[in-house]
Amino acid sequence: MEKKDFLYQGKAKCIYKTDDPDVFLVEYRDDATAYNGAKKGTITGKGSLNNQISTYFFELLQNKGIPTHYVEYTGLNEMLVKSLDIIAVEVVVRNIAAGSLARRLGMEEGTVLPGPVVEYYYKSDELGDPLINDDHIKIAGLASKDEMQYIKETALKINDILIQDLNAKNLDLVDYKLEFGRHKSEILLGDEISPDTCRFWDKDTREKLDKDRFRRDMGSVEDAYIEVRRRLTGK
């Protein structure tokens, strides 16, 4: 499929049209940002690693019956996806207290939660992606009640699938962000699933193997992403 006109550049990806109006090409980049873009940098090889890791997870989820935008892996840092009208609600699922949840509730980071916590954030860089609830989503017209019910149920199904898979790789799924969008009236999982959007910890050592190493200036960021790919794919 031919790569055509540039459409959009996000914080870590570029989107291009293809010769099929229903299919876009996603190009993953090595750019890294944190704290809503306040911190910027480069993680060498991140684009290729995130593309391969996201491919692994999208294929896993599709094989388990979760509809996603993923179509095909086409190169080290490129994949084909279905075009989406992104719903401006970021869905965060938390299994272990870390980051903003630990700060907000005064919990010790690493506390295992009694069950998954689902949070919603308004996808708006200008507003700093604020925490919102179902009523906010309704009055802002971001999604219908039925759509949000489907999204929450699907997010929890994804959580079960990912935890089971990652347990076999000796990885804890601490928390992660999901985005959904509409494609021909169907809601599909979009964006990416990678160390940029997930917190992965080694089960034994609790070593962080995700973008927190960049956020917190911990070093060995590239090695962490490589280790996640190795555990998932054996490469």
Domain 86-221 matching CATH 3.40.50.720: the answer reads no
- Contact assessment for residue 55 and residue 79, using Cβ atoms and an 8 Å cutoff: yes
pLDDT score for 36: 76
Token digits of residue 82: 């279905």
Longest CA span, the chain: 51
pLDDT score for 217: 95
When pLDDT is cut at 50, 70 and 90, the band that residue 116 belongs to is very high
Mean predicted lDDT score pLDDT of the chain: 96
| Residue range 42-53, pLDDT digits in tens | 999 999 999 999
pLDDT score for 37: 74
Token digits of residue 208: 């962080």
Question: Mean pLDDT, to the nearest integer, of 180-207?
Answer: 97
Helix (H, G, I), strand (E, B) or coil at 201: strand
| Residue range 220-229, pLDDT digits in tens | 999 999 999 9
Span 3-82 CATH architecture: 2-Layer Sandwich (3.30)
Question: Mean pLDDT, to the nearest integer, of 124-129?
Answer: 93
When pLDDT is cut at 50, 70 and 90, the band that residue 209 belongs to is very high
Compute CA 58 distance to the chain's CA centroid, rounded to the nearest angstrom. Answer: 11
- Per-residue pLDDT at 86 exceeds 90: yes
| Residue range 20-66, pLDDT digits in tens | 999 999 999 999 998 877 789 999 999 999 999 999 999 999 999 99
Q: Which residue do the tokens 């929890």 mark? A: 156
- Per-residue pLDDT at 67 exceeds 80: yes
Q: What percent of the chain has pLDDT over 90?
A: 93
Global model pTM greater than 0.85? yes
Q: What is the rounded distance in angstroms from the CA atom of residue 138 to the CA atom of residue 156?
A: 21
Q: What percent of the chain has pLDDT over 70?
A: 100
Question: Mean pLDDT, to the nearest integer, of 191-207?
Answer: 98
Sort residue 101 into left (φ over 0), alpha (ψ -120 to 50) or beta: alpha
pLDDT score for 1: 79
Domain boundaries defined on the chain: 3-82, 86-221
Q: Which residue do the tokens 């990652």 mark? A: 166
Instruction: Determine how β-strand 198-202 pairs with β-strand 180-183.
Output: unpaired
- C-alpha distances in Å from residue 185, one per residue of 19, 75, 144, 147, 182: 22, 29, 13, 11, 6
Query: CB under 8 Å to 22, separation ≥6 — which residues?
Result: 82, 83, 183, 184
pLDDT score for 38: 79
Helices (H), the chain: 46-63, 99-105, 134-139, 145-167, 212-215, 221-233
